Structure 1
Amino acid sequence: MGDVVSETEAETATRVIAGRYRLVSVIGHGSMGTVWRAYDEFLHRPVAVKEVRLPPGMPQGQADEVRERTLREARAIGVLSHPNVVTLHDIAHENGDPYVVMELVPGSSLAHLLRTHGPLDTTQAAAIADAVAAALQAAHQAGITHRDVKPANVLIATDGRIKLADFGIARNISENTLTKTGITLGSPAYIAPEVASGGEVTNNADLWSLGATLFATIEGHAPYDPEGDVIATLLEVVNGDVPQPTETGPMAKIVSGLMVKDPTSRMTLAEVRRRMYGLLPEPGTSPFTLEDITEAEKSFIPSPKQPEPEPVTDAVAQPEPEAGSTGPSLADDPGPLPFTPSSSSYPLLDEEPPPVRVRRGVPRPLVYAAAVVLFFAAAGGGFAAARYAGGKPLLPTKPTLIEQPVVQPPPSTPAGAFVVRTGDAATLRGATGGTFSIKVPPGWEMFVEERQPKNLPVSTRVHYVSPDGKYELTVERFPDFYPTRKINQFKDAVQGTWPKDAFVASDPLILSSGNKLESGQYWKYNTVDAGSLRRTTYSNLLPMTDTDLWVVSLTVPTVEEDTGKGALFDQIAPSFVLTP
């Protein structure tokens, strides 16, 4: 998370965000913001609130990107519902800044637990491995790559729950890398070699980071120096030998199976969890003692001087228990609702209800029998009255079969009117000539990133993403592609980022557009990621100038590929034009 602040700083928390979340004390802070221990005054529960903190003098464009990263975490965990993932409660806005309101996990991070107690035993490490692997499985199946798995982002609650937190740089198909702001994609000591070298980030990167986290769990320290020079650490990750645990046993084999430089050769999450079966604690028990967690918690979460703020409520008289009563008493009044019921819809709350009179001496079975008779009499009378008022016979007629029309569900494809959007694929080095226009469905969000693909020149990619994150339109420009390269080299580079059994491409079709060196191509390919998420991508590869290759692509779920092509790609791709 970050450095823990002093109690003096924690005592300064007096703000209320969005009229609801009272900031109580600072849990910690890092380069991206501050995490507060807060109190939800509507639901009367503690929560965690992540606040964006911008360095003084930061340009507005970079500030917007930092705010976007905060919203990215919300989008990432908002689609996840898993016991090993920190739950998102709300997104609050105050003075234009977003605040991510999350579940507060009382306890310690794995990083602080390791600093306090040193390496964990096999049972504890197995519990960590199984929980984090389960969280990553859920994320990957939702199309999300965490990108920053490390001990500081593994939380251990006082009741033994283990949760993966901080999806702040997670990426799904709707996100970009935000490399323009200089944000490191992951922690150098836990980052995968292919990410450290600037390659494509896939779910396999999380497998390496999980292995590095488990390395620290059984060894008591990170596989690489987390306090060393960042560049030197990245070079060691890319070019050096993979560190091996000094411990022996099943957990060491898991680490060695995950920390493999070839992304496609890493142990799968399913295999990790399968190997944990015999190592996990007994069901219903936790391998962590309450003393261990609370001892680490003292250095992790400073206790506020003041108790939790209590809501201000009017005094309400509580009913006295009857004399001689041995039954349980009523719970305390929960306090007022966050809104006041309209007096026109509800009776006055302070009116005294009439006393209930109970006749004595009537046998209880006769009361029940009479109630049943009255119920059926009322039901039958109501049915007869309704039939008579509607001009229907009192006795039911012979039933007839009526064929009901089949109602087709609405298509999930976001079809509808398109709007013309403009974009700029200029590079950070100032390569101009990158403005274009293209038709895009309304409501799709735009993101821009500069990429350094392996074996290809630097490119600029403009993303347009549907609100639900299922569909992604990209316009990518390679300014220095020609005359030294051909389109087939681009296709080989794309295929090279996927395992052989996870990539299937169709034969290309020649397009009429192109430059004097070669013609354009239409290309379709299918992919399957580590979470078994199947997607189909349609691309037009367009040599638009003597130097630039442009790639217009649409990625959709494979189950909707036919609709995605006809309703989206065939409408969007022909509208792409360069603008002066």
Structure 2
Amino acid sequence: MASASEETRVVAGRYRLRSVLGSGSMGTVWSAYDEFLHRPVAVKEILLPPGVTAGQADELRERTLREARAIAVLSHPNVITLHDVARQDGEPFVVMELLPSHSLAELIREHGPLSVQQAAAVGDAVAAALGAAHNAGITHRDVKPGNVLVADDGRIKLTDFGIARNVSDASMTRTGMTLGSPAYIAPEVASGKAVTPAADLWGLGATLFCAVEGHPPYDADGDPLETIGKVVKGEVPRPSPGPLAPLIAALMAKEPRDRMPLRQVRRQLYPILAKAPRVLFGPEMFAAAGSTREDASDTREISASPVVNETAEASGELAADPGPLPFAPSAATDALAAAPGPLPFGPPSPAKPGGTLSPAPGPLPFGPPPGRRTSVTVALVAVSIVLFLAAAFGGFVAARVIGAQPVAPPSRSDTSGPAAPQPTVFERRTGEASSVKGAENGTFTVDVPAEWTRFTSSQAGDDLPLSTLVQFVSADGSQMLAVNHFPQYYPGNDLDDYVKALERSRSGGEFRLVYQAKLAEQEGLTLMYRTIDRAPSGSVSRTTYAKVYRQSTSLWVVSVTVPTEQEETAKAALYDRILPTFSTSGS
């Protein structure tokens, strides 16, 4: 439980932190209470690891915001809902739904393998959640039992999109970074290949493997690098024979294109769920799991949500009983009337003497009473029309005055078209691409749009030497400048090797080289190629302009990637503008 000082900590003036639900090297998840909307929430606090530079801290904050943007577009009953992104002292806090639940990892640890019906329910819920994510252009990339929450009322939700990336960020994922849990990571992700939604299919299969076998498909407690080696090069483990074994094997296919689609997964699970009992996870499972909750090391487990009533809110204590809902009427004071009575906006009904309703509605209230002369009626109607027009004009004048607008209509010269877009502001940026094997002369400078964010990582794969990749990405993720430095590339490789590696990295018509030309002033090439990123929601075509050239024993690649529909304007506005400003420390 949190200390007294922690219990009084309030984030963004409204989220009161109560107790720590889980923590890890990258952050802490708090049970909290929203004092504005009066509801329990989970608040994820991002922790900066010791020794990080200011630039690395900014990148971590940006990753947090990207995570929030990824989750915010999802609205699905099997996905944890994001409520808000708050800031406190410049640091971001992600505010999410607090689900009283236990992780699937905890339930398996306490009770062993699930029944076929229980595993099918988990598979169906996670498949539905992933389908919603993929339709929104999001790949989770860390599907595992620790990120599947099971509530005692039967709800099953997928959580922790902390390393999720939008499809628009696909160009940022082909790195050597180990993202996800080694025991559940897809082989192509572990080897640094392109990440697609098919990686989540593998994670779903590995999660179901653990559900029916009681242990992960690979050794999660051993050396992570050794585990990744088994994932990439070893045989795929097969579950014991059973109703779910063929489905798990179809999801854990080594080749991403061979994995079973999510819709087919749900179709195959339906016959099992149709025969399942209504209550699959009995209360005895959660009682046993709750007895060891304080000792659980899974940083993504979420405990029961705090409940606050009016007395507890004033004292800062959690209430044992939530009491009536804040919007429910009190039986003593707000009981519903036996009859609603007349509608407030309907015409009143004439009443007989004594207060009883007359059997007939009588004449309409706006009709002339009997006996009135026609000339009088016409005069009254004329006066009413004049008064109405005067009131309308007066209202128009008042609205224009209040809005500080001229009363007279705008002249023809005021009805011009929309203003021209503001020109892109560039700024001089410095990047460091010398982190591979102590390579030197990797510092560079280049002009980049001011609002673009920098990311740095190592990259391996495609039969090329290890390299350092520095990327500058637009705010919406659709445009990118990439600087790739291959130290010690020569004499073991040449320019053709790089072009062939590009072609091998994309298969099935997803890469098309539009043109290639040799540089006149130095050993190198200019390239233009198009790539296609496929997702369940549709395909995204991108165009890349690149300069590939030799500098001593290094190979440098400077490229600009944009959506294909922008390729004509982006070449002049971005590539031709940026490339002449690029220079390295060895130039």
TM over 0.5: yes
Do 1:444 and 1:464's aligned partners in 2 also have CA atoms closer than 8 Å?
yes
Report the equivalent of 2:484.
Answer: 476
The percentage of counterpart residues that share the same residue type is: 46
- 1:118-173, CA deviations, whole angstroms, 9 ceiling, x for partnerless residues? 22233332222222223223333444332211100011234433221111122334
Q: For 2:424 and 2:90, locate their aligned partners in 1 and report how far apart those are by CA, in whole Å.
A: 31
Question: Residues 419 and 24 from structure 1, CA distance in 2 versus in 1: closer, same or farther, beyond 3 angstroms?
Answer: same
Is 1:194 aligned to 2:202, yes or no?
A: no
Counterparts of 2:139 and 2:497 in 1: how far apart (Å)? 27
1:245 is aligned, of 239, 245, 259, to 239
Which of 508, 515, 518 is residue 508 of structure 1 equivalent to?
A: 515
Structure 2 spans left out of the alignment, 5+ residues: 294-301, 316-327, 340-347, 370-380, 396-414
Q: What CA deviation, in whole Å up to 9, does each residue of 1:194-231 have, x standing for no partner?
A: 33334443333222222111101121221122222323
1:442 has 2:450 as partner: yes
Q: Select the residue among 90, 96, 102 that pairs with 1:102.
A: 96
Aligned residue type for 1:460: T
Change (3 A) 1:513 1:164: farther
Q: Matched residues in 1 for 2:305 and 2:333: separation?
A: 42
Query: Residues 237-270 of structure 1, C-alpha deviation per residue, up to 9 Å, x if partnerless?
Result: 2332211101322x21121112122233222333
Distance 1:460 1:208, change over 3 A: same
Aligned to 1:3: none
- Asked if structure 2 preserves the Cα contact closer than 8 Å seen for 1:22 and 1:38, the reply is yes
DSSP-derived class of the 2:231 partner: helix
CA distance in 2 between counterparts of 1:13 and 1:388 reads: 58
**Unaligned 5+ runs, structure 1:** 1-6, 330-355, 391-405
The count of aligned residue pairs is 520
Report the CA distance between 1:454 and its aligned residue. 2.9
**1:45 counterpart = 2:39:** yes
**Secondary structure, in 3 states, of the residue corresponding to 2:139?**
coil
Q: Equivalent of 2:156, from 144, 157, 162?
A: 162
| Structure 2 residue 131 is the aligned partner of structure 1 residue 137 | yes
Match of 1:398 in 2: none
Q: Which residue of structure 2 aligns with residue 274 of structure 1? A: 267
CA distance in 1, matches of 2:135, 2:191: 26
Shift of the 371–10 alpha-carbon distance from structure 1 to 2, 3 Å rule, reads farther
Q: Is the 1:218–1:247 contact (alpha carbons within 8 Å) kept by the matching residues of 2?
A: no
Q: For residue 479 of structure 1, report the CA deviation from its aligned partner.
A: 2.6
What amino acid sits opposite 2:516 in the alignment? L
**Aligned CA distance change for structure 1 residues 563 and 54 (closer, same or farther; 3 Å):** closer
1:344 aligns with none
> 1:425 touches 1:477 (CA, 8 Å); kept in 2?
no
Give the AA of the match of 1:549. Answer: L
TM-score scaled by structure 1? 0.76
**In structure 2, C-alpha distance between the alignment counterparts of 1:189 and 1:51, rounded to whole Å:** 26
Cα 1:569–1:235 shift into 2, 3 Å: same
Tell me: CA distance 1:497–1:255, structure 2 relative to 1, closer, same or farther (3 Å): farther
Indicate the residue corresponding to 2:547 in structure 1: 541
1:548-579 deviation digits (Å, cap 9, x = unpaired): 33323333344555554565445444554446
Contact 1:156 1:293 (C-alpha < 8 Å) held by counterparts:
no
Identify the residue that residue 472 of structure 2 maps to in structure 1.
Answer: 464
Q: Which amino acid aligns with 1:370?
A: P
Equivalent of residue 421 in structure 1, options 404, 428, 431? 428
C-alpha displacement of 1:35: 1.1
Describe the SS at the equivalent of 2:201.
helix
Using a 3 Å threshold, how does the CA distance of structure 1 residues 230 and 299 change in structure 2: closer, same or farther? same
The answer to whether the 8 Å contact 1:523/1:541 transfers is: no
> In the TM superposition, what are the counterparts of 1:312-351 in structure 2 within 5 Å?
312=314, 327=337
Specify the alignment match of 1:255 in structure 2: 248
CA–CA separation in structure 2 for the residues paired with 1:323 and 1:31: 52
Equivalent residues in 2 for 1:479-490, closer than 5 Å: 479-490=487-498
Q: Matches of 1:387 and 1:304 in 2, distance apart?
A: 55
Contact 1:73/1:166 (8 A) holds in 2: no
CA distance in 2, matches of 1:271, 1:321: 50
User: 1:445-490: CA deviations, max 9, x gaps?
Assistant: 1212221233112222222222122222322222333333233322
Does structure 2 conserve the Cα–Cα contact (< 8 Å) formed by 1:70 and 1:98?
yes
Q: Distance in 1 between matches of 2:121 and 2:130?
A: 14
State the AA in 2 paired with 1:497: S
> What's 1:85 paired with?
79
CA contact (8 A) 2:173 2:194 kept: no
Equivalences for residues 211-230 of structure 1 within 5 A? 211-230=205-224
Provide the rounded CA distance (Å) in 2 between the counterparts of 1:304 and 1:53. 23
Q: Which amino acid aligns with 1:21?
A: Y
Q: Distance in 2 between matches of 1:241 and 1:416?
A: 54
Residue of 14, 17, 20 corresponding to 2:8: 14
Asked if the contact 2:101–2:304 (Cα under 8 Å) also holds between the matched residues in 1, the reply is no
TM, length-normalised to structure 2: 0.75
State the shift of 1:272 in Å: 2.1
Matching residue's letter, 2:96:
M
Distance 1:50 1:433, change over 3 A: same
The DSSP-based 3-state class of the residue aligned with 1:129 is: helix
Which residue of structure 1 aligns with residue 23 of structure 2? 29
Structure 1 position 25, deviation (Å): 1.7
Q: Is this contact kept in 1: 2:445–2:583, CA < 8 A? A: yes
Kindly state the Cα deviation for residue 46 of structure 1 after the two structures are TM-superposed: 0.6
Amino acid at match of 1:269: L
* Matched AA of 1:82: H
Alignment of 1:376-415 (within 5 A): 385=390
How far the C-alpha of 1:85 sits from its partner, in A, is: 2.1
Contact kept, 8 Å, 2:329 with 2:335, in 1: the verdict is no
Q: Which residue of 2 aligns with 1:340?
A: none
Q: Is the 8 A contact 1:483 1:546 kept in 2?
A: no
Give the number of the structure whose alpha-carbon radius of gyration is greater.
2
